[in-house]
Amino acid sequence: MHASNGMEVAAGAVTDCGDSDAVVIAGGDCLVERPVPAGLIAAVEQLRPRTRRMVSICTGSFALAAAGVLAGRRATTHWFGLSPSEYRARFGTADRRSRPAGTSKD
């Protein structure tokens, strides 16, 4: 399949995955603009017991929150995604910290 920027991404079935040291959930605008897809939540739930560590990039944390992975934990997301009140309204259980992802020097 292809990402929105045209990059080709290899995809496979969750059932093809064995035990993993880490699973990385990437974010994207679609996770901000719409509810997290039920299929993505189901995939995270299926992978969770077989994965030592689940991590996310940017708004990928929305998928982890929707699947309950972040319940009772702190999470850092990109500041552009949702305001803290919008995040709580959608996911309710995670303590979200919003911080800039990086800095630059002029």
Choose among 83, 80, 39, 87: nearest CA to 62: 87
60 found inside a domain: yes
pLDDT tens-digit readout, 26-79: 888 888 888 899 999 999 999 999 999 998 888 888 899 899 888 888 777 766
Q: Print the domain residue range for 80.
A: 22-96
Q: Is the predicted pLDDT of residue 106 greater than 60, yes or no?
A: no
What is residue 79's predicted lDDT score, i.e. its pLDDT?
61
Q: Which residues contact 16 (CB under 8 A, 6 or more apart)?
A: none
Task: Give me the number of domains the chain comprises.
Answer: 1
Task: Give the mean pLDDT of 84-94.
Answer: 74
**Does residue 49 lie in a domain region?**
yes
Distance CA 63, CA 36 (A): 6
Say which amino acid occupies 85: S
17 in any annotated domain: no
Instruction: State residue 30's pLDDT score.
Output: 82
Whether 43 is covered by a domain: the verdict is yes
Does 47 fall in a domain?
Answer: yes
